Amino acid sequence: MRLYFFRHATAVDAARTDEARELTKRGQEEAQIGGAALVKLSIQPSHVLFSPLVRARQTAEIAVEAMKFSGEMKVCEKLKNGTTTATLLKALASFRDADSILLVGHCPSMPHHISSLIGLQTSEGVELSKGAIACVELDELRPGEGRLRWLLRQKQLRLIAR
């Protein structure tokens, strides 16, 4: 299985609540570029799961539109910050037979999940900037079992998406 960790794109700094923060114009473009780059990389996940926060939902919606995605798209509470990797993996257990899943969420949880899955003790070396995407390949949904295949920032995704 491959898990694609897509950090939400750039959002406004302030809103009525943190959960309500929407993407900026730049963020909308970043989400579209992320989706277009995934297409160029021939990546078509079977499922797209996203945090319930507005900026993650918007990032997912724009990316799947660029991908012409026709699979299952679903909100996943476990993609909010503060969720342990073990809890996220339990939520992903029902997707065990999927080839690939696109997960759209936040920092600092996403770098923490990536680090945990590839067996690192800290997430310091895993920098997932806004709009970046990382691919982790797993034979089993267990911490320490994954392999980081790639991590692409917006600048790299932009070059791929051209």
Residue in this structure with the two tokens 């679903």, named with its chain if needed: 74
- Between the alpha carbon of residue 66 and those of residues 34, 70, 92, 98, the distances in Å are 8, 11, 24, 21
pTM reported for the whole predicted model: 0.96
pLDDT band for 144, please (50, 70, 90 cuts): very high
pLDDT band for 28, please (50, 70, 90 cuts): very high
- Between the alpha carbon of residue 72 and those of residues 47, 55, 92, 100, 107, the distances in Å are 5, 19, 13, 12, 24
The b-or-e profile of 125-156 (16+ CB within 10 A means b, else e) is ebebebbbbbbbbbeebebeebebeebbbbee
Asked if 8 and 57 count as a contact pair (C-beta separation under 8 A), the reply is: no
